[in-house]
Amino acid sequence: MDDTTSHSAPSLETQQDGREHLQGHLGTGGLIFTALAFNAPLTVMAATVPIVISGGIGAGTPVVYLTIMALVLVFAVGLVAMARYMEKPGAFYTYIIAGLGRTVGLGGGFLAILTYLGLGASTYVVAGFSEQSLLHNNLGGPDIPWWLIVLVQWAVISWLSLRNIDISVRVLGVALAVEVLIVAVWSLAVVANGGPEGRSLDLDGQLATGSLGFALLMGLSCLGGFESIQVYRDETRNPVKTIPRATYLTVVFLAGFYGIGSYVYLIAHGTGPAMATAADPTNAFMASIAAYTGTFMQQLGYVLTWSSAAAALLAIHNIAARYVFALARDGVFPRWLARVHPRYKSPSTAAVAVSVTLLVVALAPATFQLDPVVGYTMQYGLASWCMVALFAGTALATVVFFARNRHLHVSVWKRLVAPVVALCGMSVVLYLATVQREALFGSAELGALGIGFLILVALGGALYARWLKARRPEVYERIGDQEENGVLVPLEHPPAIEEDEDFTPQVTARPEDVPGT
C-alpha cells in the first residue's frame, strides 16, 4: 500500500491513556510536500537563486548546490540514526538536549523558535511588498498598502494552521505541484532553446572568483526546512521508516531542483547578464519565463508567487507551533500551550500563539514606518544565521550522543564518521556566515548587533534552564526526557534498539501530562 495517505483509527495508547496527543496520518508523500512547501520553490527560484548567482560564484552555482546536497545528506545520516531514539517531536530541541544536555538544549530550543519566527515574518514581509507590486504594476489592480496584503494572508494561513495536519498537506500538495510544474516547463523550454550563450558553462573561470562563503550560506538556507520532518513524528504513520525516507528524498529533490534551476537560469540569460539581475531578480525571472514560454505562463507565474508564499507560510506556522507545543509539554512554557484540539488533534493553542506573534513581528516595519525591504533583510538574516548555528549544534549533539551511548547498535558510519564530517562542514559555513555578515544582514554593524542578539537569546534559554534546575527541578528534569512504556528514560540511557528493528515507540501518560492536572 502506498504510504502517502491513510485513514487508520487513532492509536491504542491515544484511546486508553487520556494523554493529549497530536494526531495525523502522514506518509512519505505528505511529509515531503510539507517540507518542500516550506521552501517555496517558485519563490526561491524567482528571488534567492539569482542572488546566490550574483553574490556567489556565478556559473559555479550549480556545483555549490551539489556540494550542499552532499553535506546535508551526510548531516541527515546522523540525524536519522538518532531519531530512532527520540520519542517526542521537537527536532533541533530534542536532539541538542539528548546530546549536549538540558541547559544547552533549551538555549537551542529558543533559537529554533526564533529561527522559524524570523523566517515566517520575513516571508510575510517579502510576500506583502512583492505582491503589492504584482497587483498594481502587473495586474492593473489598486495600489493598496503591503501590510494589508499581509493581514489577509495571515488570516487565511492562521485558520489553516489550526486544522489537522492532513488538511494542511492537501493545501500544500496542490500549491507545490503547480509551482514546480511551471518551473519545469520553463526549464525544458530554455534547455531546448539553448539560450544566448549555449548550454555549456565556464566553470573554470568562475570557481575561483566571487564569494564562495556567501554562495554556500545562501544555498544552505534554500534547503532549510528538511529537518522539520522530524517535528511531525507524532503525526506520521510508521515514523521509523517513513521519516528517514522522506528526509533523504526531500534533500535530494531540493538540492537537485535548485541546482538544475540555477543552471537553467544561467543558460536563459547568459552568465554575465544573469549575474547582473540581483537588483530585481523576480522580474528578471518572470521576464525569462515570458521570453521562453510566453506571456500567459509569465502571468501564471506571477499569480503562483501568491500560492508559493502561502504554502511556505503555512509550513512555517505548523513547524513553529509544534516547537512551542513540545516546550509547553515539557513544562518550559505554560502548560495550556500544549493543549490539543479535541476534533482536529492539532496543537491549536500553540498555533494561535505563534500566529499572533508572527503578525506582530511581520508588521513591525509598518508599525515603526520602516522600509519593508530593510525589515525583511534583517529578519531573514537573523533566521539564516540561526539556522546554520542550529545545524552545527545538532551535528555536535549527534556526535556526543552516540559517544555517550556506545551500547547502541549503530554503525561507525552513522554514529561517528557522518556526524563528524557534517559538524566540520556546518562549522565552516557558520564561520563564513559570521565573517561575511555584511552580505547577510545588509551591513556589518547590523550583522554584529543581530548575531549578538541571537547569542543573548541562546544564553537566556540556558540561564532559564539553570533557574528551573534550582527553583523548579521537577520541570527541569522533564526537559527533553523520553519515555518508554510510562517509565522516564534518562538521556544517558536511551532504550537499546537493534539497528534493523522496526521500532515504534509506545508512550503512556503521566498525570502531569494531561492539561489541567
For 463, the enclosing helix (H) or strand (E) is helix 444-471
pLDDT: is 460 or 505 the higher one?
460
- When pLDDT is cut at 50, 70 and 90, the band that residue 494 belongs to is very low
Question: Is residue 17's pLDDT more than 70?
Answer: no
Return the percentage of the chain with pLDDT > 70, whole number.
Answer: 80
User: Among 13-17, 225-229, 314-318, 399-403, which is the least confidently predicted range?
Assistant: 13-17
DSSP string of 157-223? HHHHHTS-HHHHHHHHHHHHHHHHHHHHHHHHHHHHH-TTT-S----TTTTTSS-HHHHHHHHHHTT
Residue 197 CB contacts under 8 Å (≥ 6 apart), including other chains: 267, 270, 271
For 231-248, the pLDDT digits (tens) are: 666 667 777 778 888 889
Give dist(CA 249, CA 267) in Å, integer.
27
CATH 3.40.50.720 is the classification of domain 12-513? no
pLDDT at 481: 64
Triad 39, 45, 50: Cα angle to 5°: 125
pLDDT at 93: 77
Question: Is residue 19's pLDDT more than 90?
Answer: no
Tell me the CB-side half-sphere exposure of residue 384, using CA atoms within 13 A.
Answer: 31
- When pLDDT is cut at 50, 70 and 90, the band that residue 175 belongs to is low
Question: Is residue 512's pLDDT more than 70?
Answer: no
Helix (H) and strand (E) counts for the chain? 22, 2
Strands (E), 209-298: none
- When pLDDT is cut at 50, 70 and 90, the band that residue 484 belongs to is very low
* 3-class secondary structure, 310: helix
Give dist(CA 293, CA 303) in Å, integer.
16
Calculate the average pLDDT of the chain. 79
pLDDT average, residue stretch 100-122: 90
* 3-class secondary structure, 483: strand
* Number of other CB atoms surrounding residue 444 within 10 Å: 13
Give dist(CA 299, CA 294) in Å, integer.
9
Question: Is residue 285's pLDDT more than 80?
Answer: yes
Give dist(CA 385, CA 56) in Å, integer.
17
Give dist(CA 321, CA 340) in Å, integer.
11
Q: Distance between terminal CA atoms of the chain?
A: 41
pLDDT at 143: 81
pLDDT average, residue stretch 208-219: 76
Q: Can you say whether the dihedral through the CA atoms of 144, 145, 149, 152 is positive or negative?
A: negative
Q: Would you list the domain boundaries of the chain?
A: 12-513
* Number of other CB atoms surrounding residue 10 within 10 Å: 11
For 128-139, the pLDDT digits (tens) are: 877 787 777 777
pLDDT at 380: 79
For the whole model, what pTM was predicted? 0.79
Question: Is residue 317's pLDDT more than 70?
Answer: yes
For 31-54, the pLDDT digits (tens) are: 777 777 777 788 888 878 888 888
pLDDT: is 441 or 97 the higher one?
97
Judge contact between 312 and 38, C-beta under 8 A.
yes
For 321-368, the pLDDT digits (tens) are: 888 887 888 888 998 888 887 776 778 888 899 999 999 999 998 888
pLDDT at 234: 65
pLDDT at 198: 87
Return the percentage of the chain with pLDDT > 90, whole number.
Answer: 27
Task: Dig out the grid coordinates for 467 from the structure.
Answer: 533557574
Tell me the Ramachandran region of residue 16: left when phi exceeds 0, alpha when psi lies from -120 to 50, beta otherwise: alpha
pLDDT average, residue stretch 219-230: 77
Place of cell 492539532: 346
DSSP string of 411-451? -HIIIIIHHHHHHHHHHHHHHHHHHTHHHHHSSHHHHHHHH
Give dist(CA 98, CA 45) in Å, integer.
36
Closest CA relative to residue 96, chosen from 461, 472, 488, 502: 461
* Number of other CB atoms surrounding residue 132 within 10 Å: 21
pLDDT average, residue stretch 396-418: 91
pLDDT at 492: 40
- When pLDDT is cut at 50, 70 and 90, the band that residue 495 belongs to is very low
- When pLDDT is cut at 50, 70 and 90, the band that residue 90 belongs to is low
Closest CA relative to residue 126, chosen from 361, 410, 373, 367: 373
Place of cell 505554560: 334
Give dist(CA 92, CA 108) in Å, integer.
7
pLDDT at 206: 60
CA dihedral 268, 270, 275, 279 (to 10 degrees): -50
Place of cell 502522514: 26
Give dist(CA 228, CA 341) in Å, integer.
21
Give dist(CA 396, CA 420) in Å, integer.
8
Residues 394-412 as b or e (16 or more Cβ within 10 Å = b): bbbbbbbbbeebeebebee
Which of 266-280, 436-450, 451-465: highest mean pLDDT? 451-465
pLDDT at 205: 60
Place of cell 530593510: 374
**φ and ψ of 26, to 5 deg:** -70, 140
Triad 357, 514, 236: Cα angle to 5°: 70
Judge contact between 236 and 243, C-beta under 8 A.
yes
Give dist(CA 284, CA 381) in Å, integer.
23
pLDDT at 104: 93
Closest CA relative to residue 217, chosen from 473, 487, 435: 435
For 357-393, the pLDDT digits (tens) are: 999 999 998 888 888 877 777 787 788 888 889 999 9
Place of cell 532553446: 193
